[in-house]
Amino acid sequence: MTRLSVNINKIATLRNARGGNIPDVIKVALDCEQFGAEGITVHPRPDERHIRYSDVRQLRPLVTTEFNIEGNPQAKFLALLHEVKPTQATLVPDANDAITSNSGWDTVKNFDFLKNIVSELKADGIRISIFVDTNLKNIEYARLAGADRIEFYTEPYSANYLKNNELAVKPFVAAANYAREIELGINAGHDLSLENLAFLHKNIPFLDEVSIGHALIADALYFGLEKTIGLYKEQLK
């Protein structure tokens, strides 16, 4: 079964735009779980322009599904992970000023750095996923660094899906099969939507988890949050 983890960053962005506590990020996270989400994802950035570190601390004792925290493993982020001990930490190489994540790790170049961090976090019982592209060497070195899973950066798939869906998914299928061979779990995220999710899942049915935020929250403006989560889960059947 492929789990749906809802990224609630955009809820926090909307709240922060006006100040106050509308919409209530904590309530939305719990509602997502009630409506069928099997996980909650947050991606706190150093400037806290959407999810705040205080949100993460409030969420930790309340989330009853899998709690996934994404981010660049800088000192402040690592301290947060050690404090709250989420189910999963997804290590992403995004710059401080990045609007959104835009690449996977070069795990060969950053091998020693990642290996040390993975070891440090796994000592706290945290499952580790490393954000990568479809380069097999990057997948191999994620495994050598000790990661439990990888998360595919799926923007290239999403960007090319309408042009030629078979060509768009082909490198991801090859990379997923290789990751499975070397006993890595497989997550996916970035620009996945109701338009392209089912085809990805059809071709990689053994995905462990998809993490979706932007498109899902945008769809919820039209369909409502409960119906939208149901629609996304339908794509994973």
Catalytic residues: 43, 70, 190
User: How many Å apart are CA 70 and CA 6, to the nearest integer?
Assistant: 12
> In the beta sheet, which residues pair with residue 153?
189
Q: What are phi and psi of 68, to 5 degrees?
A: -115, 125
Would you report the helix, strand and coil content of the chain in percent, each value rounded to 5?
45, 15, 40
Q: Under a CB-based contact definition with an 8 Å cutoff, are residues 228 and 219 in contact? A: yes
Distance CA 186, CA 107 (A): 16
d(CA 68, CA 37): 13
172: nearest Cα among 155, 193, 184, 149: 155
